[in-house]
Amino acid sequence: MTQKSIYLSLLLLLLISCSSKGEEESIYTPVPANLEIPELFQQKLIAPVIPTNNPLTEEGITLGKKLFFDPILSKDNTQSCASCHDPKNAFTDDTRFSEGIDGKFGTRNSMPLFNLAWNFDERFMWDGKELSIERQAFSPVRNPIEMHSDWKNVAKKLQEHAEYPTLFQRAYGTSKIDSTLVTKAIAQFERTLISGNSKFDQYLLGKVELTPEEQNGFNVFMDETRGDCFHCHGSDNNPLWTDNKFHNNGLDETFADIGLGAVTGDPNDNGKFRSPSLRNLKFTAPYMHDGRFATLEEVINHYSEGLKKSSTIDPLMKKANQGGVQLSDKDKADLKAFLLSLSDANFVNNPDFQQ
Residue pair 205/155 in contact (Cβ under 8 Å)? The answer is: no
| One character per residue 106-125, x = contact with ligand HEC (rule: CB under 6 A) | x-x-xx-x--x-------xx
Pick one of 281, 320, 340, 348: the residue that binds ligand HEC (CB under 6 A).
281
Residues 183, 185, 189, 192, Cα dihedral to 10°:
100
Residue 279's closest CA among 199, 188, 352? 199
**Tell me, what amino acid is at 311?**
S
Q: Smaller CB distance to ligand HEC: residue 25 or 329?
A: 329
Residue 337 CB partners (closer than 8 Å, separation 6+): 211, 213, 214, 217
Q: CB neighbours (10 Å) of residue 152?
A: 10
Pick one of 100, 196, 234, 239: the residue that binds ligand HEC (CB under 6 A).
100
- Separation CA 120–CA 210 (nearest Å): 30
Size of the site for ligand HEC (CB under 6 A): 52
- Which residues, 1 to 30, sit near ligand HEC by CB under 6 A? none
| One character per residue 134-173, x = contact with ligand HEC (rule: CB under 6 A) | --xx--xx----xx--------------------------
| One character per residue 293-332, x = contact with ligand HEC (rule: CB under 6 A) | ------xx--x----------x-xx-------x-------
Tell me how far CA of residue 234 lies from CA of 57, 92, 181, in angstroms. Answer: 31, 21, 34
Residue 108's closest CA among 86, 93, 130, 119? 93
Pick one of 56, 61, 181, 232: the residue that binds ligand HEC (CB under 6 A).
232
When asked if residue 85 is in the footprint of ligand HEC (CB under 6 A), the reply is yes
Pick one of 98, 195, 198, 270: the residue that binds ligand HEC (CB under 6 A).
98
- Separation CA 45–CA 234 (nearest Å): 12
Contact residues: ligand HEC, CB under 6 A: 73, 79, 81, 83-85, 98, 100, 106, 108, 110-111, 113, 116, 124-127, 133, 136-137, 140-141, 146-147, 186, 190, 227, 229, 231-233, 247, 249, 251, 273, 275-276, 278, 281, 284, 287-289, 299-300, 303, 314, 316-317, 325, 335
